[in-house]
Amino acid sequence: MFLSLVALCWLAGACSTPETGSDNLATGKARVQDLLHEALATLPEDSDYVVPAEPGRQTCRKTFLGYAVGTTGAHRAEIPTIVDLPSGSDPAERLTEIEAVWRDAGYDVTRPRTADGRFPKVQATVDDYRVVMTAFIDQPPDVPPRVTVYAVSPCLDS
């Protein structure tokens, strides 16, 4: 019975274990920091942000029917940053600019969730690492124009 369930799971794709990348976690942390700083360098000089001192780590999980059922022992390195742009800036323009930079660098660039008019984003993948810039549209008048930049590694062994 158990083997039948496992076979059904495998055939249906209901069970998944994320692949583990070839780097170690320390290398992954350095790489996500580099990707973040590369993206931040494309923003106007008078942008205001604070980069976390150290990337965080997220536990990689096995799933069954969409639910987490255990860990793989690996982790993803991740680093997010909220950026306040200069007054009068258009956050959507930043997406167009970073998209061009990432394409020129040879990254695989996509625009996921383009139907979301409030939080459009551009995502780049390079060597199984992802970096995403999201624009905040329709902010209240007392909030500066804003984007977030987030970089994340594949699952990596410690």
Q: 131, 39 in Cβ contact below 8 A?
A: yes
Tell me the pLDDT tens digit for each residue of 68-95.
777 778 899 999 999 999 998 999 999 9
**Statement: residue 6 has pLDDT above 60:** no
User: Could you tell me the pTM of the whole model?
Assistant: 0.81
pLDDT digit string, tens, across residues 11-54: 445 555 556 667 889 999 999 999 999 999 999 999 999 999 89
Name the residue among 94, 96, 60 with its Cα closest to residue 77.
60
Domains with residue ranges and CATH for the chain: 21-157 (3.30.2030)
Given this model, what pLDDT does residue 38 score? 94
Rg of the Cα trace of the chain? 18
* Partner residues linked to 79 by β-bridges: 151
